């Protein structure tokens, strides 16, 4: 597949790295010489200096025979124009754009991205995507990571095995005997910083992180089995009143009448603006790194602090300070890849990476075969995917045991006609099954082939 990526920032570079490593023909465009040079030095891609919204630049990138354009520059307008030119001049079949300004996404302007308007096949809003991830983490405080599949009926959660974890040193194959009515599957384990597929003979150890695929209505019970009985927060402090902070606060106001939220915002004008927008949320103007201000916000009685400013260092330090002052849990936004591996060592309970969230969302549309959802885990070393089997899909009619697949691929759950099935070796896949799988990044192409659709289907 030939792909053009407009924007060589963290998201664009991350997508380019993944697609190039899978053998795709990738061109990346950026107007910043240093970013183009970095892409040339790091990746096996064609890096081009220029504006992605200019037809001549797109042509140099190979737009005449491109299969897909992904526009993820920092400017929404450049992304939108690039997609329009890709459609009108070069007839590129699939166009994806990152659009951050919420005014473009207002329901009042639904015709903006219609067939007669700006032609974009898939729009990604990082603020909304990240905001929804934060909300899921708040709902499940015992999990450090969550992803939703099968229309919210199945979740993949990341759980830490602490010193009080009851199932430490128990072979995974015995868990189904201990909990026969719990259709949960451990698909991956992180030990000493390395992610490996879970095997039936593996035993969880103290300090491990486990990735578990579980029905949404059994998540609380699953967390309890892992020794996590944290209750959902009722007093929350949000550090940062930007688009993400405002989105989270507004959603909590709409969904949770009994939850009290306070926002700390450093810019006075922005603080006034969001105070006028929200109904029940208390807005404090000041620096979240100020111990006095956090005490004024009554951080000691807060159950969760959510740090979502645009500054990674501020988010990390605010989270650490809040816990030192008595806050029970902390969750912080981390954009840079350099900090992600050390956040937990600071005592921070969970982190959210806008880069990984956005890349996962885009990969959902890039993946071949009937891939319905994608969630990258452990800095992109593996993915948890939702795939749909159709009548002509190669996996249909075969038992899982007979499929010729790599050992690293794990089947986590199957949703069939609204019912969840915990897959075993003898399980045969049927048309319309929604399958949740774990796969190391090097085996993704194999998943795409397993769930490819024969032209006869059409």
What gap in Å lies between CA 204 and CA 165, rounded to an integer? 9
How much is the pLDDT for 439?
A: 95
CA atoms within 13 A on the CB side of 211: 32
Q: Are the beta carbons of 446 and 439 closer than 8 angstroms?
A: yes
Torsion of CA 33, 37, 38, 39, to 10 degrees: 100
Give the residue extent of every domain in the chain: 2-124, 235-327, 358-457
What gap in Å lies between CA 124 and CA 72, rounded to an integer? 9
Domains 2-124 and 235-327 share a fold: yes
Q: Note the pTM of the prediction, 2 decimals.
A: 0.85
Beta bridge partner(s), residue 185: 213
pLDDT tens, 292-326? 999 999 999 999 999 999 999 999 999 999 999 99
pLDDT tens, 237-265? 999 999 999 999 999 999 988 999 999 99
Architecture of domain 235-327: 3-Layer(aba) Sandwich (3.40)
Find out if CATH 1.20.120.10 is the number for domain 358-457.
no
CA atoms within 13 A on the CB side of 29: 26
Q: Mark residue 176 as left, alpha or beta (left: phi above 0; alpha: psi -120 to 50; beta: remaining).
A: alpha
Copy the structure tokens of residue 414.
Answer: 């199957």
239 to each of 125, 206, 264, 367, 390, how far by Cα in Å?
A: 21, 32, 5, 35, 46
**CATH class in words for 2-124:** alpha beta
H-run or E-run covering 293? helix 291-296
pLDDT tens, 79-101? 999 999 999 999 999 999 999 88
Which value, in Å, is the radius of gyration of the alpha carbons in the chain? 23
Q: How many residues does the chain have?
A: 458
H-run or E-run covering 440? strand 434-440
Q: Judging by DSSP bridges, how do beta strands 434-440 and 382-388 pair with one another?
A: antiparallel
How much is the pLDDT for 392?
A: 85
What gap in Å lies between CA 174 and CA 168, rounded to an integer? 12
What gap in Å lies between CA 412 and CA 385, rounded to an integer? 10
Q: Is 60 exceeded by the pLDDT of residue 455?
A: no
Please report how the helices 243-255 and 126-139 are oriented relative to each other, as an axis angle in degrees rounded to 10: 50
DSSP for 68-123? Answer: EEEE--S-HHHHHHHHHHHHHTT--SEEEEE---GGGG-GGGGGGGSTTS---SEE
pLDDT band at 102 (very low <50, low <70, confident <90, very high): confident
Quick check: helix, strand or coil at residue 309?
A: coil
What gap in Å lies between CA 45 and CA 144, rounded to an integer? 34
Average pLDDT, integer, range 8-31: 92
Average pLDDT over the chain reads 92
Report the percent of the chain where pLDDT is more than 90: 71
């Amino acid at each position: 597949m030939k792909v053009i990526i407009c924007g060589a920032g963290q998201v664009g570079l991350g997508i380019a790295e993944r697609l190039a490593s899978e053998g795709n023909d990738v061109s990346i465009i950026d107007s910043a010489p240093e970013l183009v040079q970095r892409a040339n030095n790091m990746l096996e891609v064609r890096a081009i200096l220029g504006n992605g919204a200019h037809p001549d630049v797109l042509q140099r990138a190979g737009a005449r025979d491109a299969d897909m354009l992904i526009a993820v520059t920092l400017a929404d307008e450049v992304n939108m124009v690039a997609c329009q030119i890709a459609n009108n001049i070069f007839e590129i079949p699939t166009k994806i754009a990152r659009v951050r300004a919420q005014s473009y996404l207002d329901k009042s302007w639904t015709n903006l991205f219609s067939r007669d308007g700006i032609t974009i096949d898939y729009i990604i809003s990082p603020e909304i995507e990240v905001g929804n991830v934060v909300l899921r983490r708040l709902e499940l405080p015992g999990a450090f990571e969550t992803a939703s599949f099968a229309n919210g009926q199945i979740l993949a959660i990341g759980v830490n095995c602490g010193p009080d974890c009851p199932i430490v040193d128990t072979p995974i194959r015995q868990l189904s005997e201990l909990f026969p009515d719990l259709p949960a599957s451990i698909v991956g384990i992180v030990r000493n910083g390395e992610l490996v597929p879970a095997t039936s003979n593996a035993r969880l150890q103290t300090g491990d992180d486990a990735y578990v695929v579980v029905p949404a209505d059994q998540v609380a019970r699953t967390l309890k089995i892992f020794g996590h009985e944290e209750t959902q927060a009722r007093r929350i402090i949000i550090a940062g009143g930007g688009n993400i902070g405002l989105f989270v606060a507004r959603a909590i106001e709409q969904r949770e009448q009994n939850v009290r939220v306070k926002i700390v915002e450093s810019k006075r004008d922005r603080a006034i603006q969001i105070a006028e927008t929200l109904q029940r949320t208390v807005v404090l103007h000041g620096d979240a790194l100020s111990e006095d201000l956090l005490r004024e916000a009554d951080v000691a009685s807060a159950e969760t602090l959510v740090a979502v400013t645009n500054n990674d260092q501020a988010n990390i330090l605010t989270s650490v300070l809040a816990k030192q002052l008595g806050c029970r849990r902390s969750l912080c936004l981390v954009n840079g890849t350099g900090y992600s591996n050390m956040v937990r060592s600071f005592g921070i309970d969970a982190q959210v990476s806008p880069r990984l969230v956005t890349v996962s969302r885009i990969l959902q549309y890039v993946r071949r075969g009937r891939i319905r959802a994608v969630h990258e885990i452990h800095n992109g070393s593996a993915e948890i995917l939702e795939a749909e089997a159709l009548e002509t899909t190669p996996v249909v009619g075969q038992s899982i045991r007979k499929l010729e697949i790599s050992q690293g691929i794990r089947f986590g759950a199957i949703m069939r006609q609204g019912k969840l099935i915990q897959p075993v070796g003898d399980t045969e896949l049927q048309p319309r099954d929604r399958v949740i799988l774990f796969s190391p990044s090097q085996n993704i192409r194999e998943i795409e082939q397993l769930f490819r659709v024969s032209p006869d289907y059409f």
